[in-house]
Structure 1
Amino acid sequence: MKSIPTLFFATAAFFALCGMIWGIQMSASHDHTLSPAHGHLNLIGFVAMSVFGTYYALTPRAADSRLAMAHYLVVTATVLILTPGIVMAITGQGEVLAQLGSILVVLSMLVFGFMVLRHGAGVSAIAEPSPSSQPAE
């Protein structure tokens, strides 16, 4: 199995590539109607996933937890549900998927906040020496 940071970064790169291709298509067609969905694909699919991947790469203790994989799955599901949901909302086909995606994006950020509060940030969050191992002055 790939490491959690690798999964986040690889998926972020895939979503960024999809966003770039979509942006080129919108530019070529001169139709930017769906740009809010394109923006969310790039923001959550690339930027947020890259930030999460960086956090997990810098904080191995958090990456080793079971919740890290659940976090990855929730964020991926968020992008896969929210992006078409926004398209559907813009084109008048209903807002249910956009609403569900909105709930998932809040959930994914709550999980991230929990991970940061629980595990700290960076390797030093797990490598701090205990007071008993400090040399006497």
Structure 2
Amino acid sequence: MGVRFLKIAALYFLIGVGIGIFMESAGDHALKGVHAHVNLVGWASMAIFGFMYHLFPKLGESILGKIHFWAYNISLPLFMLGLGFLLYGNATLLPLVIIGANVLALSVVIFVINVFVNLKAQDVSRLKDQNLSM
């Protein structure tokens, strides 16, 4: 699960850089909201999820981890697509923004629940023993 999140995070990094280059080259910063979300919610957050799931495999093996992965990865592109249209004045895909943002937020709540339920102190201690402390 961790490697999947890290690979998808790298794609969002590429997309975020591409949007930034497009905005600056075109002198059109209408997509700054999409750019910010892709970099923070796509690249940075997914990379953190990836490292968490890699360091603590039980998180990714749980049903909560699987729900988190799929809900997050389906809702984020829908949210970004709808937001992109909305920022250019087209509200046709507003339902995607609403649904995508809410499912994304719910998936973050699922991640937090997963961490509190499935991450144990001994899991973190194991990292110390391996010189991988956080």
TM-score by length of 1: 0.82
Identity fraction in percent: 27
For 1:62 and 1:123, the matched residues in 2 are separated by 14
The structure that is helix-richer by fraction is: 2
For 1:50 and 1:122, the matched residues in 2 are separated by 22
Structure 1 segments of 4+ aligned residues over 4 angstroms from their partners: none
1:134 corresponds to: none
- Runs of 5+ unmatched residues, structure 1: 128-137
For 2:18 and 2:107, the matched residues in 1 are separated by 26
* Alpha-carbon distance, 1:113 to partner: 0.9
For 2:121 and 2:85, the matched residues in 1 are separated by 40
Amino acid aligned to 1:49: M
TM-score by length of 2: 0.83
Amino acid aligned to 1:46: W
Q: Deviations over 1:16-48 (max 9, x none)?
A: 101111111111111111110111111111111
* Alpha-carbon distance, 1:115 to partner: 0.5
Structure 1 vs Structure 2 CA RMSD:
1.9
* Alpha-carbon distance, 1:69 to partner: 2.4
1:74 corresponds to: 71
1:55 corresponds to: 52
For 2:5 and 2:121, the matched residues in 1 are separated by 17
2:24 corresponds to: 27
